[in-house]
Structure 1
Amino acid sequence: MKKLPVKFRNDSIRGWCVYEIYNQMLKNRNIWVITGDLGYHVLDLIRRDFPDRFINVGAAEQSMMGLAVGLALQNKIPFVYSITPFLLYRPFETIRNYLHHEKIPVKLIGVARNKDYEEEGISHWAEEDKQVMSIFTNIESRWPETKEEVSQLIKEMVKNKKPYYINLQREKGDTVKSNKKVK
């Protein structure tokens, strides 16, 4: 795979994911990105270049998911980007009722697996996401391992009108808000 353009700065799976979403946003005005008070550095260019389609809801996970459902019902393609526990556990009821049962095509991107954010404490751990997602058989769930895989997956998510969940593992060199690097 070619090198990530310099302006994206983060040559990780997360960086490639955001790069692909950015490229899709250039082509499709229906794509929106919603985040829950994180991802600033990796999402900076989306926030700058698409301010009308980028929403940071803050620490309001249920509202974040409700907003995404509303956008999807208006034929938009919402990508919800957050740390995995905040994405899945806090808005569980909305995911269950609307994404799973009603099959509303919201695209979920969970950042971090297992104890990728161990230093941030248990609230940031995502040790159960596979078990949680296994009950949602109407949500396409994936755990991509490579940059190439995540790039293709974003294209697939844009094209398909079904709910998705993908989980992105934190890689060496990725930083968190405390600016600690993964060893």
Structure 2
Amino acid sequence: MYVNGLKTSLIINNMRKEFANYLFHEMKTNSKIMLITADIGYGILDKLRIEFPDRILNVGSSEMLMIGIAVGLSYDGYIPICYTISSFLLYRPFEMIRNYVNHECLNIKLVGSGRDKDYIHDGITHWMEDDVKIITTCFDNIQIYKPDTFTETDFRSFMDCSEPCYLNLKRNV
């Protein structure tokens, strides 16, 4: 498929691919980073799965489990990164994020894929139009990162934050 004469694969997933690339290099130098996904990231995360098979876990469509595992890992001194579609990341495990991640102010990194109606073809369950509103009104200890472009400086700031953080990545750039 081509858009404006460019092959689609060159423009789709750019922000997510950059995140995966930066994360790969970060995981090479920091053995405390654990990546937990909820049924997403196929292809983009392959390099990480091959290099760090014991530090990546796909829990399937179990977002509450993903957050629960992250809480336990955080208490044990790890830096868990939870990665899935933005709406599933914030809506499904809302109570656990509120009670543990936010209230306990744990160093858990929440990474949501998709902004606004990036997943329009999948319907309203996949849309994320109010993530900033949810976090600012319900989760006062979670730092928000929602860049228009994703750079190494953005990644560094996100990873260096010792408080809970939410990073929203555009699906299509």
Same fold (TM over 0.5): yes
Q: Distance in 1 between matches of 2:117 and 2:150?
A: 21
SS of 1:34's equivalent in the other structure is strand
Give the structure 2 partner of residue 101 of structure 1: 103
Give the structure 1 partner of residue 7 of structure 2: none
Q: Distance in 2 between matches of 1:24 and 1:155?
A: 9
Higher mean alpha-carbon deviation, 153-162 vs 25-34, is at 153-162
> CA shift at 1:147, angstroms?
2.6
Give the AA of the match of 2:163. Answer: K
> CA shift at 1:41, angstroms?
1.0
> CA shift at 1:11, angstroms?
6.6
1:111 to 110, 113, 124: 113
Identify if the C-alpha distance between structure 1 residues 10 and 25 changes in structure 2 by more than 3 Å, giving closer, same or farther.
farther
Q: Distance in 1 between matches of 2:33 and 2:84?
A: 17
Contact 2:12 2:172 in 1 (8 A): no
Give the structure 1 partner of residue 4 of structure 2: none
Q: Distance in 1 between matches of 2:88 and 2:50?
A: 24
Give the structure 2 partner of residue 162 of structure 1: 163
Contact 1:77 1:158 in 2 (8 A): no
Q: Distance in 1 between matches of 2:140 and 2:29?
A: 30
Runs of 5+ consecutive residues of structure 2 not aligned to the other structure: 1-10
SS of 2:45's equivalent in the other structure is helix
Map 1:142-161 → 2, pairs under 5 A:
142-148=145-151, 151-161=152-162
Runs of 5+ consecutive residues of structure 1 not aligned to the other structure: 1-8, 173-183
TM-score norm. by structure 2 comes to 0.89
Length, aligned pairs only: 162
Report sequence identity in percent: 41
1:137 aligns with 2:124: no
TM-score norm. by structure 1 comes to 0.84
Contact 2:15 2:170 in 1 (8 A): yes
Give the AA of the match of 1:117. Answer: Y
Runs of 4+ in 1 over 6 A off after TM superposition: none
Contact 2:71 2:106 in 1 (8 A): yes
Deviations 1:35-77 (A, max 9, x none): 0011111111111110000000001110000001111111101
SS of 2:140's equivalent in the other structure is coil
Contact 1:24 1:155 in 2 (8 A): no
Identify if the C-alpha distance between structure 1 residues 66 and 55 changes in structure 2 by more than 3 Å, giving closer, same or farther.
same
Deviations 1:86-116 (A, max 9, x none): 1000000011011111101100000001110
Q: Distance in 2 between matches of 1:11 and 1:169?
A: 8
RCO higher in structure (CA 8 A, sep ≥6): 2
